[in-house]
Amino acid sequence: MLTTLGAVKLTPQASTTQRSPLRATILGPKDRAPHDIVLSRALIVPPTVSYARLGGIAYVKITSFNSSTTTSLERVLEQASHEMGKGLRGVVIDLRDNPGGLLDQAVTVSELFLKRGRILSTSGRHPDSNQTFDADGHDLLNGLPVAILVNHGTASAAEVVAAALQDQGRAVVVGTASYGKGTVQTVHELPNSGELIITWSRIHAPSGYVLNNVGVIPNVCTSKVALEGREAVAQVIDTVRSGRLDTSAARYLLHANGRPDTLETRRLRASCPARSGEGEVDVAVAQKLIEDRSLFLRALQPPGPEVAKRE
């Protein structure tokens, strides 16, 4: 039985190209001669999108944003539409514990649900860092309800998608305050082949507020529920039905003030404390909202000054 990796010998051309073969010599027991194997180099892009059916709802989990995320998401949405046809009630997009990734993928993922409108903007000290990104896509779901799940581990590109669809009134965000990583880095190669990473700009949600240190405040908060299981779901849904959404005032102030100071940021995030983990309450609440169109629209409505004052 071959047990020990003894040495790796490269063919003369193996170190010059990414996809060239790699020859490895494996040393086994003393009574066996060394064994050579040839490995083929390849660029491996791990899958980031998975899909499951929850009755008439498509549950889509996105774990990060790499170069294939938008293509993979488009594929599973088309699969769900084909499988369920007119029975498709809506989509739950789970971005919990998604650390982010490529910003351009956040833009193109958002475009799968938005026909037009602002996705994000960036601002920094250098004029070239000031950019805007607007949707020029097509809504693959033709207006079907979308619920997005977020938690403390939702960051960066994942927050861009959640904020874009929330601000455009396209999706209800369920869960807890997200991480709050809203900066863009640029990478410069150094003479010694090293890299220097510089924070280049801040990310603004469509309504103008800065994502960094603030994060996305959900439409429907689940972190303050002390109960568990069905009772917890019922309590959250009752809050939505009665119009007593805990984060109404927070989201209004967030959008109105743009870049809150430190104390205000703490107060905003305290309205829906960040939590880790992927409890089933978030998924169950999202299902209830999608299945009841009136509840979905109630949760979707942006708060106004009178709501903020009441809260």
What separation in angstroms does the CA of 164 have from each of 31, 159, 193? 64, 8, 37
Q: Which residue has the tokens 């499951």?
A: 52
Nearest partner of 159 among 214, 77, 89, 230, judged by Cα: 214
Report residue 68 as tokens: 């294939």
How many C-beta atoms surround the C-beta of residue 217 within 10 A? 26
Is 36 a catalytic site residue? no
What's CA 99's distance to the chain center, in Å? Answer: 7
Active site residue 167: yes
3-state helix, strand and coil shares in percent for the chain, rounded to the nearest 5: 30, 25, 45
Query: Tokens representing 5?
Result: 């990796």
Q: In what order do the strands lie in the sheet with 118-123?
A: 131-134, 118-123, 195-204, 183-189
Catalytic residue among 64, 110, 178, 181: 181
Exactly one of 156, 178, 223, 248 is catalytic; name it: 156
Q: How far apart are CA 294 and CA 301, in angstroms?
A: 11
**Which of these is catalytic: 94, 97, 167, 246?**
167
Q: What is the largest CA-CA distance in the chain?
A: 84
Mark whether 248 is an active-site residue.
Answer: no
Q: How far apart are CA 94 and CA 50, in angstroms?
A: 10
Q: Are strands 146-150 and 131-134 parallel, antiparallel or unpaired?
A: unpaired
The catalytic site residues sit at 156, 167, 181
